[in-house]
Structure 1
Amino acid sequence: EDSRNISHEQSRNESDAQLSNTSSSVRVDKTYNHSTTIINQDLSNTTFDEEKTIARVHALIEKYTENYSNLTDRPVKEALEDLVAFSTRSFDQQAIIVREVFTNVLDAKPRARRVVGDLLDAAHNENIISEKAFLAGVKMIIEAAPDYTVDIPLIWQYIGEIIGAFIGARASNMTLLKPIFECVPDDKAKLFFQVIIRYATKFSSQSYIQSFWQSSGFSLNDLIKANLIDSTFSNEFDWLFDTPEIEQSTSQTKESHSPHPDMQLVKLFKSVNDQGTIVTDSEIITYIREHMGPSEKFYIRNIVLSYLEACLINRDPQKKIQEDIAKKRMTVLNAIIEHKLEAEIQAVYAIQNFVNKLEHPPKMAQLLFDIFYDEECVSESTFFEWRQNPDQSETEGHVVVEISTIDIFTWLQHTESELGAGEEEWEN
């Protein structure tokens, strides 16, 4: 559709002109200390047609954004194959490709900007686009941003959304923020940072972005001038420097030996409120069945932890559960758990594990117990089984959760007593 692509030819022409004026400076741009393999930048070995490159990127992005699905990585693979078919080892061409990927979705829906962030990550990770070429392309779009502002007032937000999706994909991408921010005007830096981190968190999770940030070793001063950082701004991002609440597994081997959320499943659960990308329950169930197996040791726990991670909001200063997601997505858990005792028990232990790692936010465990009971995902008898016969290998946090949920157990016991008395009266 038209909204997927830039309709402002004047802005594009100005951007293209800016590229030709700065292409020589791009090639001698700063050297960044990263380990990614750099594709050969010797233009004498390869040539390319800029107009054809722009047209190919336009067609590629239109097809890719239309076919993209959260349930399979096939559209990404196909887009990479298309990209390889016309991209060369030319540094300038790669930079133009990056620039055009951005410009083709600047006035599209938020979903399109998110998915091209995924594509840029994949192209960078596969070394189809070198790190220096990626940074050069981003620099060109940032330098051209003032030319787009008249037609696209939210240009900085839209660029930030794409970069947010890109850096949220893997830890190493976070390190590219420093050279990116060297190109950002001082008066845009704070807003740009806010948008990038907000969208990176939305498309990944706050705990992962926190971990990525800490692995980069950055301070806010590395990206934004100290005199621009006030206490309000600093406090807003204090959580980036806190001890991670939910540790990211250091390897796939470690993950296989402990319960952990599936980050793609987290995105699917969260999509209930994502503009234009509401994923149905049946699609989520399909993803679970295709990517996770009942034979896995932590099958139920991983699903429930993914659900809980998607429901978590406002980690700082107060941690809460977003109840609309919690209730709307409970049908998925019901379809997977199917009132099986062992599955229900694993769901309760997932809640215990989740709340314990968050250091027991006030009333969170009770709220989750209420939701799982009210939505008929976990039965009364299962809750009492968890309370009265705790698994000795799952004692961490059990007592604290038991104490914090005492009201619901008191209510359940009272309800059970009333039902028992009513049955006796009926029999008499």
Structure 2
Amino acid sequence: GAGTKKSSNPQVHVNNKFAALSRQDQDDRKPTMSSIMNRKGVTPSPSLEKDRAFAALKEVMLDSGRSGVSSSGGAGGGGRAAGSGGSGPPSRESSRLRYGGGSLSGSNVSTSSSTGMQPGGSVSSQPSPVPTPAVAAVQIAPLMSEEEGERKTKTIIMEWLDNNNIQETVQTVQDTFVGVPNLVLFLRSALNLVLDHRKVIARPRTGHLMAVLVQENILPHQELIKEFAFVVEMGDDYKVDIPHVWKYIGELLGPVIAQEVFSFADLRSTADQVRPSKGFATALAEIIRILIKDKGPGWIRTQWESSRVQMKDFVPEEDVDKFIKENNLGFIMGEGEVQGVADASLTPVMVEEKILSFLYKDNDKVLDHIGDWLNANVGEKTKENDFIKALTRAVIKASLKGDKFSSSKLLKNEKLIKKFVDNDEGRELACLYSIQNLLVNELVQAPSVLLETFQTLYENGTISRDAFLRWKDPRQDEHICDVEHAGKGVALASLQSFFVSLSEQDDTDDETPS
């Protein structure tokens, strides 16, 4: 304020004028500086200058406080109470609310704490602590009524089942159900809504949505376990009205495990109140059926072992052997393989996308997991040219990142092509035409990418020399479709050095004595 004098003591800090008001009464109760100095045996010391500086500063602050604040806000009474007469600064009430009640009291803004004054009257050499800044009030979203939550949940879930737009649905959930209590209401309402829904996709889609909400840190993982645990606990009661409830519970849980939001250990936790039971065994069989289709037997076995679960954790011990045999689950225990049955619903595009999703995981067991998945879900169709093309496209795409080509990734993943092409020239040609169409026509990659791909496949024995020469032969064009014919000339122009190298090697082989 006006007239404020600059203190000679740099360690004296005044943080607000309310602290000065609070200090007034306390200082009135302290012995005066003159009475202290007049005591017998006490002689003036250098600290006297500091004491005088403090006294002058205190007077300035008292004058400033009187000019800015009503006299009713003195120390000792804790400042202006809510609802008392007069109007104090707007920050007083909000500050009290932010700190959880109680006004600024004399003990909190005492002279010693604000100025470093010690009980004996000397000035501390330590700097004054800086007051903690006020924290903004936390806005807590109001809890929806159950009726409102169910109504909004139904709207969101029905839209999700119709449009399958995960980004839009997640954003709508986040905007509509603010705060964990409301999100739990959404989760509970959604599970109740789809548990016996007539649409087959309702439960897998809802399970997928819940998994994404957890992955996006919107829905707490533990809340998902709790709500599923409640549904599982009530399973036998639901069965009275929903005969296939345990299968439906499996349909909900399968996608959550497939997306690695739940482990098999989490699954065991959801079943704590009922396991082992025949009902939950039905749910487990459905979960594993879904996982075989989505992730493959190898992935299931890896997850099962890492979770350290046992079949008797879910199935009554006396029924374990029968359960494993009836559901062809010996592979989980390392006994046998899944009998591959081609899934008629799988298109080449779907196979390509699935293989690519595995390859993007890029872990040590990924090739084994892909092989297991293909054997279990594609079966004998792995020998067809359409499958070879899908497999090849996935391997090449996984080796590309924008315009950059990773030869190391191709070297690692081309083993898949080699395994399923299996030295069959027809499948080898399907592989080469697939590469030509992808790199030249679709992705329009630099010629060097096509050249390096062909060289890698040849040098590692994935594709035979005869297959490359047959692919180059114009007479082969009579047996291919228009899509495979497109871009052939451009590809050949990019591969001149490659075929010159093959010819030179052929000449060398002819000259070698037998």
TM-score by length of 2: 0.44
1:131, distance to aligned residue in structure 2 (A) = 3.0
* 1:170 alignment partner in structure 2: 260
Identity score, percent: 17
1:50 to 139, 146, 151: 146
2:313 to 206, 210, 222: 222
Letter in 1 for 2:231: I
RMSD across aligned positions (CA)? 5.3
Unaligned runs of 5+ in 2: 1-139, 398-404, 434-453, 467-474, 476-514
Report the CA distance shift for 1:48/1:181 in structure 2 as closer, same or farther (over 3 A): same
1:313 to 353, 362, 376: 376
Corresponding position: 1:376 with 2:465: no
Alignment of 1:12-411 (within 5 A): 46-68=142-164, 75-91=165-181, 93-105=182-194, 106-146=196-236, 148-149=238-239, 152-170=242-260, 172-184=262-274, 186-230=277-321, 233=324, 236-242=328-334, 273-274=344-345, 281=349, 310-313=373-376, 321-323=379-381, 327-330=385-388, 332=390, 350=413, 352-353=415-416, 365=419, 368-370=422-424, 373=427, 376-378=430-432, 389-390=459-460
Report the CA distance shift for 1:349/1:82 in structure 2 as closer, same or farther (over 3 A): closer
Alpha-carbon distance between aligned partners in 2 of 1:325 and 1:81, rounded to the nearest angstrom:
43
Q: Deviations over 1:156-208 (max 9, x none)?
A: 11210120111111165433111112244622122221111221232223222
Q: Deviations over 1:354-376 (max 9, x none)?
A: 78xxxxxxxxx477544962873
Letter in 2 for 1:323: K
**Local SS of the residue matching 2:169:** helix
Alpha-carbon distance between aligned partners in 1 of 2:305 and 2:230, rounded to the nearest angstrom:
28
Alpha-carbon distance between aligned partners in 1 of 2:144 and 2:288, rounded to the nearest angstrom:
36
1:377, distance to aligned residue in structure 2 (A) = 2.7
1:214, distance to aligned residue in structure 2 (A) = 1.9
1:112, distance to aligned residue in structure 2 (A) = 3.5
Unaligned runs of 5+ in 1: 1-43, 69-74, 246-269, 315-319, 356-364, 392-397, 403-407, 411-418, 420-428
Tell me if structure 2 keeps the 8 A contact 1:161–1:196: yes
**What is the number of equivalent residue pairs in this alignment?**
293
Report the CA distance shift for 1:230/1:202 in structure 2 as closer, same or farther (over 3 A): same
* 1:252 alignment partner in structure 2: none
Alpha-carbon distance between aligned partners in 1 of 2:188 and 2:231, rounded to the nearest angstrom:
6
1:236, distance to aligned residue in structure 2 (A) = 4.3
Tell me if structure 2 keeps the 8 A contact 1:94–1:130: no
1:54, distance to aligned residue in structure 2 (A) = 1.0
Q: Deviations over 1:280-322 (max 9, x none)?
A: 749968x97xx999xx9x9xxxx999986652218xxxxx834
**Local SS of the residue matching 2:218:** coil
**Local SS of the residue matching 1:47:** coil
Report the CA distance shift for 1:142/1:375 in structure 2 as closer, same or farther (over 3 A): farther
Q: Which structure ranks higher in relative contact order (CA pairs < 8 Å, sequence separation ≥ 6)?
A: 1
Tell me if structure 1 keeps the 8 A contact 2:271–2:280: yes
Q: Deviations over 1:26-82 (max 9, x none)?
A: xxxxxxxxxxxxxxxxxx9852211111111111111112222xxxxxx22222211
From the CA coordinates, give the structure whose radius of gyration is larger.
2
Q: Deviations over 1:216-255 (max 9, x none)?
A: 1222233334333226527944433549x9xxxxxxxxxx
Report the CA distance shift for 1:198/1:282 in structure 2 as closer, same or farther (over 3 A): closer
Deviates more, 1:54-63 or 1:205-214: 205-214
Tell me if structure 1 keeps the 8 A contact 2:149–2:186: yes
Tell me if structure 1 keeps the 8 A contact 2:358–2:370: no
1:125, distance to aligned residue in structure 2 (A) = 2.6
Letter in 2 for 1:104: L
Report the CA distance shift for 1:353/1:171 in structure 2 as closer, same or farther (over 3 A): farther
**Local SS of the residue matching 1:312:** helix
1:273, distance to aligned residue in structure 2 (A) = 3.6
Tell me if structure 1 keeps the 8 A contact 2:298–2:369: no
Alignment of 1:5-16 (within 5 A): none
**Local SS of the residue matching 2:431:** coil
Report the CA distance shift for 1:136/1:370 in structure 2 as closer, same or farther (over 3 A): same
TM-score by length of 1: 0.52
